[in-house]
């Protein structure tokens, strides 16, 4: 149970005087009825300063597949020939997928 350290403290004598009904009522009253907010919704509305990249353009130089590379038939990634594990029916499969 959460403890509010800023709340006024009671003497041990006063604690023994509480009835069971009062303790139950106090427990129900102290529970929050608010529903937790989804963190994803909060993160979507939060904007970092200078984080607007809508006008930015990516410039990446794409190289064609080299003669010593192959495309895996399972994961579709381009690997070096040293990563070739199996060739089945003309399909090249890398070590990670084999």
Element (H, E) at 44: helix 39-45
pTM attached to this predicted model: 0.42
Dist CA 74 CA 93 (whole Å): 7
Read off the pLDDT of residues 35-90 as tens digits, 9 standing for 90 and up: 666 777 777 777 777 767 777 788 889 899 999 999 999 999 999 999 999 998 99
The residue extents of the domains of the chain are: 12-45
Cβ-based neighbour number of residue 92 at 10 Å: 18
Taking alpha carbons only, the member of 50, 44, 96 closest to residue 75 is 96
Q: Are 75 and 91 in contact (CB under 8 A)?
A: no
Taking alpha carbons only, the member of 53, 98, 54, 48 closest to residue 73 is 98
């Amino acid at each position: 149970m959460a403890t509010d350290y800023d709340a006024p403290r009671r003497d041990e004598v006063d604690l023994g005087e509480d009835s069971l009904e009062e303790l139950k009522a106090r427990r129900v009253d102290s529970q929050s009825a608010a529903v937790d907010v989804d963190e994803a919704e909060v993160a979507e509305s939060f904007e970092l300063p200078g984080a607007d990249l809508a006008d930015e353009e990516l410039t990446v130089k794409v190289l064609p597949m080299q003669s010593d590379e192959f495309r895996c038939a399972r994961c579709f990634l381009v690997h070096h020939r040293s990563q070739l594990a199996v060739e089945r029916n003309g399909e090249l499969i890398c070590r990670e997928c084999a």
